[in-house]
Structure 1
């Protein structure tokens, strides 16, 4: 899709559809337009459109202007309009027009600027909402949009913002592709090849195989590996955009999770290809960081494997030793993500990181507690968590802080080892984070549980059904602040 910035009048912009955003019940912001457009606005407002949030109305344009049609887009009440409402308007508008095989659009920005919002939020919502995953569909309809003209003065800030949202949206959709790909085509090996494709002058990639991690003593990670015939790949990606201490991102990367011997029920198991959504988010962040040349020292770690049952699979009751020497009694083989993350966090500490942030589809309890609307956040660094909260508010990838009280240590106390990997259903969202905190130690660390937000069953304005790519925009906004 091509983007143009043109400082012209709306009526002079040749396009298939001119998009006019509106506040609910208010037409006064278009008094500068051609009189025939103003008459059309008054006619539509009196009968068929009122500017309510997510309201759309498409009509033919007057004959004496260059746009062929006009799309009226409702933003809602003036006091409720936010960057996210603008994004949602972008997602709704462009998916609506795409499905009508429209090719060439123009966006009027006067009202958006008046509301002290950014037109690039509209573009970001559009790029996120237009995502489709049709890799396995034989007959593909070509309904792609070809061009969007932003009617505005050509400002450096606008061009910079447009570059940012294009790179970020592309990286979110890249992550969505990885998560939506079925597990037979997204094995640990495939994931490692994707990581290798990100190599460039500033980005290096190292893949540790089974023998390598055995030498390092990653017994917890290897315990998950044992049931699968697919070789594990412990993926380490380094982006050196700065000489500062690195920020380490760790993404849970279980490319398919059956639960192991503590096997899940058959209902919904096909969705467990999404259990590498954390790893996909980390890859998406690294892709965007490289595209945008963000001055940050970043290391991504993906402990990739499948979690399957077979004759050599880890059994409930087994005890394993981690990279830092701690022992874990495995109570539940379906609590496998924390085992892989424990060794990944232990490995990350060798880099003397400024921060460690892990992102994982870790617990079903997260979905029960927060539904599909928020990421659960826990950690040992209040300042970092506050920064992540602010990034969540800006990106609408909202986080909700949960406690990790010292008393939760009792939940994961083992009679025969240093820790056990599950304390049962009670408090499982927070006890799983406390388990990880035992490996983070004093290193500034935050855990993001995306189990409830990484997959959507229904279409949303900027999030088509399926993989959401959550975490990419959140972390990129954070890195922009931390650089």
Structure 2
């Protein structure tokens, strides 16, 4: 999908389809009104018949209107003008793309920026529109033999005034970079576990380094991790024939003496649960247990593409969690990189075991902040459903900044408590701690476990178990929390 910014009148745009808005009550946006006048009032006449009321997401395709250069006109409902918000803005664009894909339009000109929601600026509205369009166009068909169903929409132009069009060129470039990062994240997460192994993720990190000179990649193998003392991570990997990898990415385009932000992504490329075997139902979805790792790679690609002036380090501990005669067992005690010992009461609570070593490794960078992203607990899905990611942390300004970025991007998070009270639930008779805290407050006790390894820097944890992928008929990766993190990083870059 290609995107562009153009200036001009809706009546004279050369395109397979021009897209204009209609508010509820059949109120036309300025571009829709211009098309109506040029066509001798045909749009008004059609709307009076009741074919479209203007409810958000409604669409109506009108072919070959007189007095208009475009081959077709697509009317899209925007809802009540005063109530149009981020969600409605994205829905209108997504439904418009869906209608265009059904009709096989090769290109389209969107004239909706004149009606963006209150509380946004035009640049922000453009970025959200690009992401909504690209999300609706995305499909993962790499393993399908028959790709004849691939839709034809190749280019979308956004129409603005001449002055605005010039000012929107940079926001468009940023939006395209974010969209590319989201696509990479989705592609990696949607890959089957027999293809996307720890070694595959390491190769993808190397590919990014070869593609962008601003990214440096180092991959630690099992021997290197043994020398470091990453006993918790290596214990999880024991049950699999796939060797573990610890991926380090660096991107330093911020101030030369600036401390980096460290992003940590859980990379369990398939999670069977290990000896604590998961139920068979929906176990196929455990290929998504590396969505945090995929997000880190997508974020680095997006930052490099837009040349964002920040300092970043990415840490990806990646393993496969399988049952075998060599596998970690309930009751085993392992020693983490920090030196703290962990009694493993459940081998399906493996994500925190690989993350704790990565979080300890992060200390060597003297980070400004550390944010980990992990499909960590089903308990978070029970608590919050699949709308927000769970957010916990030890630094109020960091947590608040991430919450704000989530609201601004539409990739929302919700804060859960991280009180010391929960630490008592992790007590062990035989080790420094247990890796689970019982049935109650599972998302919080998992974060409380991680908190024991993050005392030396500002830290936040995003539990994306409910947001990283969709189930059912729409099964597939969502690319979250990349929009949230990129919005936060862009805000940091803007602040200097």
TM-score by length of structure 2 reads 0.93
Q: Comparing both chains, which one has the higher relative contact order based on Cα–Cα distances under 8 Å and sequence gaps of 6 or more?
A: 1
Alignment partners' CA distance in 1, 2:439 and 2:42: 60
The Cα shift of 1:33 comes to 3.9
- 1:114–1:232 distance in 2 versus 1, CA, 3 Å: closer
Q: Note if contact 1:88-1:122 (Cα within 8 Å) is conserved in structure 2.
A: no
Cα offsets for 1:101-126 (capped at 9, x unmatched): 11121111463258555344322210
CA drift at 1:342: 0.4
Report the CA distance between 1:413 and its aligned residue.
0.6
What is the 5 A alignment of 1:259-298? 259-298=273-312
2:91 to 88, 96, 99: 88
Larger mean Cα displacement after TM superposition, 161-170 or 58-67: 58-67
- Tell me what 1:351 maps to: 365
User: Contact conserved, 1:248 with 1:348, CA < 8 A, in 2?
Assistant: yes
* Contact 1:206 1:236 (8 Å CA) reproduced: yes
**Residue in structure 2 matched with residue 165 of structure 1 by the alignment:** 175
Q: Which residue in the other structure is 2:45 paired with?
A: 43
Question: In the aligned structure 1, how far is the partner of 2:217 from the partner of 2:113?
Answer: 46
Shift of residue 23 of structure 1? 1.7
For the structure 1 residues 114 and 213, does the alpha-carbon distance in structure 2 shift closer, same or farther, using more than 3 Å as the test?
A: closer
Aligned equivalent of 2:59, options 56, 61, 79: 56
Indicate if the aligned counterparts of 1:89 and 1:122 stay in contact, CA closer than 8 A. no
**What TM-score does the superposition give when structure 1 sets the normalisation length?**
0.96
The 5 Å alignment of 1:327-338 reads 327-338=341-352
SS in 2 for 1:367: helix
* C-alpha distance in 2 between matches for 1:3 and 1:69: 19
Matched, 1:201 2:213: yes
Q: 1:402 aligns with which of 416, 420, 427?
A: 416
State whether residues 49 and 55 of structure 1, in contact with CA within 8 Å, keep that contact through their aligned partners in structure 2: yes
Give the corresponding residue for 1:127.
134
SS at match of 2:352: helix
C-alpha distance in 1, partners of 2:340/2:167? 51
- Is this contact kept in 2: 1:3–1:147, CA < 8 A? yes
Kept after mapping to 2: 8 A contact 1:381/1:445: yes
Length, aligned pairs only: 479
The one of 355, 370, 387 aligned to 2:384: 370
Residues 319 and 329, structure 1, Cα contact 8 Å, conserved in 2: yes
> Is the CA contact 2:21–2:76 (under 8 Å) kept in the aligned structure 1?
yes
User: 1:29 Cα shift?
Assistant: 3.1
- Match of residue 183 from structure 1: 193
1:380 equivalent to 2:381? Answer no
| Residues 87 and 123, structure 1, Cα contact 8 Å, conserved in 2 | no
Counterpart CA distance in 1 for 2:66 and 2:415 is 55
Q: Cα gap change, 1:18/1:314 in structure 2, threshold over 3 Å: closer, same or farther? A: same
Superposed displacement of residue 84, structure 1: 3.3
What is aligned with 1:147?
155
Aligned to 2:225: 213
Q: Which runs of 4+ in 1 moved over 6 A?
A: none
Q: Give yes or no for the alignment of 1:301 onto 2:319.
A: no
1:72 to 67, 75, 78: 75
Structure 2 counterpart of 1:9: 9
Q: CA deviation at 1:59?
A: 1.8
- Say whether residues 1:392 and 2:406 are aligned partners: yes
Q: Deviation of residue 458 (structure 1)?
A: 5.4
Q: Which residue of 1 aligns with 2:330?
A: 316
CA contact (8 A) 2:127 2:174 kept: no
Deviation readout 1:220-272 (Å, 9 max, x if unpaired): 10110100010101000011112210110000000000000000011110110
1:385-438 Cα shifts (integer Å, max 9, x gaps):
111011101111100000011110111011111010001211111000000000
Cα 1:120–1:204 shift into 2, 3 Å: closer
Q: 321-330 or 121-130: which moved more? A: 121-130
Q: How does 1:98-117 map to 2 (within 5 A)?
A: 98-109=101-112, 111-112=114-115, 117=122
Q: 1:36 to 1:482 in 2, by over 3 A?
A: closer
Residues in 2 aligned to 1:422 and 1:480: alpha-carbon distance in whole angstroms: 36
Identify the range of structure 1 (119-128 vs 392-401) with the bigger mean alpha-carbon deviation.
119-128
CA contact (8 A) 1:37 1:61 kept: no
Asked if structure 2 preserves the Cα contact closer than 8 Å seen for 1:5 and 1:153, the reply is no
